[in-house]
């Protein structure tokens, strides 16, 4: 008989909602030993109980990934508890809507500190353990906005472009080390990030359809540790905008502006900093409610109308 496979030790940041919560459940079903991190202990305990219900062991470590010392402490807690780290999933992220001149500097900085520097701090914390083991996978959650931009979300785009460059540089530096870098590039995902974004536009925000299920992204994350491929896109339809962006940038810019102004932002809303500067007090749902059949039809119709209006104006 072959020896039993050793359970993976997996650290997940941003584990209290959305993609992180779905990923925690996916690994729990595989029997992984989990280390769950986000800023709110109460939120993490809810997710940890879900994972334990699947028979997994789950350690809760409240962590603000924008603070390097806390991320170092997260890695040390994982090794102290389980003896090693096999997979580090850098998923923590926040979002902000508003023109560059509108957004307070502190909000812009915090989005970059969380989304980009959180990945840098995770790499600094995990890589020494991976090198000592001679193996390990660092999974970074990027975005379609690592490849294309959109007006009104400049801090998010800045942070996600940075994640792509950072991951590629690390991939090159780590060749032959036994340590793998895996980049997950989702388009819009049905998570609460849109409801909890900082928003100074005075209008409500919603994602462009079709929004992928967070469980679909979680499956891509789990598969990535066993594959040689560096980057995996999630959401094939939205990926089609990449060649438009690359080969017809003027056309792409015009369409992106129309979609943001006429579709992604709609109605009225009060100014809010969401969860960018303060952690939520409880676990958020895995989904944001953007995938109901009626809503998806309405969203797709709205996008089609916005594009048609733009093309008619061009003609």
The proportion of the chain whose per-residue pLDDT surpasses 90, expressed as a percent, equals: 77
Task: Kindly name the residue from 82, 156, 161, 252 that is annotated as catalytic.
Answer: 156
Q: The domain containing residue 92 runs over which residues? A: 9-314
pLDDT in tens, 21-50: 999 999 999 999 999 999 999 999 999 999
pTM of the predicted model as reported, rounded to 2 decimal places: 0.91
Q: What is the CATH number of the domain that holds 290?
A: 3.40.50.720
Q: Domain count for the chain, please give it.
A: 1
pLDDT of residue 104: 97
Q: Would 3 be classed as within a structural domain?
A: no
| Cβ atoms within 10 Å of 20's Cβ, excluding its own | 31
The set of residues, in sequence order, having a beta carbon less than 8 Å from that of 243 and lying 6+ positions away, is none
Residue 141 lies in a domain: yes
* The pLDDT of residue 302: 55
Q: Which residues contact 183 (CB under 8 A, 6 or more apart)?
A: 139, 140, 142, 163, 164, 167, 230, 231, 232
Pairwise CA distance, residues 200 & 211, whole Å: 23
Distance CA 90, CA 65 (A): 9
Q: What pLDDT is stored for residue 2 in this prediction? A: 40
* Predicted pLDDT at 314: 57
Distance CA 42, CA 61 (A): 11
CB 183 within 8 A of CB 136: no
Residue 1: what pLDDT?
Answer: 38
To the query of whether residue 156 is one of the catalytic residues in this protein, the response is yes
Q: Which residues of the chain have pLDDT under 70?
A: 1-5, 236, 292-315
pLDDT of residue 209: 81
Q: Would 197 be classed as within a structural domain?
A: yes
At residue 3, the pLDDT reads: 47
Examine residue 4 and state whether it is found in any structural domain, yes or no: no
Q: Looking at residue 297, what is its pLDDT?
A: 56
């Amino acid at each position: 008989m072959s020896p039993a496979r050793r359970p993976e030790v997996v650290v997940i940041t941003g584990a209290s909602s959305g993609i992180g919560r779905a990923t925690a459940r996916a690994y729990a079903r595989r029997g992984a030993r989990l280390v769950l991190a986000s800023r709110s202990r109460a939120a993490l305990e809810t997710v940890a109980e879900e994972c334990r219900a699947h028979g997994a062991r789950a350690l809760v470590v409240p962590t603000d990934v924008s603070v390097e010392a806390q991320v170092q402490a997260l890695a040390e807690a994982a090794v102290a508890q389980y003896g090693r780290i096999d997979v580090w999933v850098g998923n923590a992220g926040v979002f902000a809507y508003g023109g560059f001149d509108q957004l307070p500097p502190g909000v812009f900085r915090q989005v970059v500190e969380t989304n980009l520097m959180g990945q840098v701090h995770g790499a600094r914390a995990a890589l020494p353990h991976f090198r000592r083991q001679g193996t390990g996978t660092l999974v970074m959650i990027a975005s379609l906005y690592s490849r294309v931009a959109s007006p009104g979300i400049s801090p998010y785009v800045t942070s996600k472009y940075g994640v792509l460059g950072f991951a590629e540089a690390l991939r090159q530096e780590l060749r032959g080390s036994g340590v793998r870098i895996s980049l997950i590039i989702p388009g819009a995902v049905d998570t609460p990030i849109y409801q909890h974004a900082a928003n100074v536009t005075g209008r409500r925000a919603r994602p462009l359809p079709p929004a992928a299920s967070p469980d679909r992204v979680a499956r891509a994350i789990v598969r990535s540790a066993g594959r040689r491929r560096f980057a995996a896109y999630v959401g094939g339809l939205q990926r089609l905008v990449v060649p438009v962006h690359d080969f017809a940038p003027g056309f792409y810019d015009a369409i992106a502006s129309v979609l943001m102004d006429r579709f992604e932002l709609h109605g009225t809303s009060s100014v809010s900093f969401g969860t960018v500067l303060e952690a939520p007090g409880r676990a958020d749902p895995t989904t944001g409610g953007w995938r109901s059949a009626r809503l998806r039809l309405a969203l797709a119709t709205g996008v089609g109308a916005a594009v048609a209006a733009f093309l008619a104006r061009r003609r």
